[in-house]
Amino acid sequence: MDMEKVMERLLFAQEQMAARQKADREEERRKEKEEMEECRRKEEEEMEECRRKEKEEMEENRRKEKEEMEENRRKEKEEMEENRKKDKEDLMAKLDSYQEKAEIGLNELLARLEDVRQTNRRELQEMMDVNQARTDKKARPEGEKPASANRKLEAAGLREVPIQDTEVMPVGEPKKKRRRDRK
């Protein structure tokens, strides 16, 4: 009986050992499963952290790009304003110089016109003097009575025309003589 008890004990010990081994294997599986779950959870957390960091970096990059674009726009706007002011100043300077040139040209033109007027007055006076001299030469002695036509010529030659009126009077070519008037 002893042997039976030993065998029972041995069987019991084997069963206990098998149960312990089974429990140990289950425990190992459970631990492995927990470790795998822990690893998966850590990986997910790391991935989530990486995603969050990437998102933050992207947002930071977008913000920086937006700030740079706004800064560039502001600089371009300032440059455009400066260019506009410079162009306006250049145009105003050109306009002033054109106005000065126009005034100088106008003054020169007025001076030349005045010179021409004075020259015309002198020439007219000289012509009137020449006509006066001619009429004086043609004058007859006082004893002799000129014909009525001659009196008209003398009266016309003696009449003085003021210089101011001569400027207004038209000066033109003499009238054409017609055949019937030639004799």
Residues 135 and 158: beta-carbon distance below 8 Å: yes
Q: What is the pLDDT of residue 8?
A: 80
Up-side HSE of residue 75: CA atoms within 13 Å toward CB?
6
The torsion region of residue 162 among left (phi > 0), alpha (psi -120 to 50) and beta comes to beta
**pLDDT profile of the chain (183 residues), mean per 10:** 78 84 90 92 94 95 96 96 96 94 94 94 92 78 51 56 54 67 62
Structure tokens at 86: 């410079």
Flag whether the pTM goes above 0.75: no
Distance CA 132, CA 124 (A): 12
Q: What is the pLDDT of residue 138?
A: 76
Q: What is the pLDDT of residue 124?
A: 94
For 60, residues 6+ apart whose C-beta sits below 8 A from its C-beta are none
Percentage of residues in the chain with pLDDT exceeding 70? 77
Distance CA 44, CA 117 (A): 106
Residues 173 and 134: beta-carbon distance below 8 Å: no
Distance CA 70, CA 65 (A): 9
Cα end-to-end span (Å), the chain: 196
Please identify which residue in the block is written with the tokens 């001299």.
133
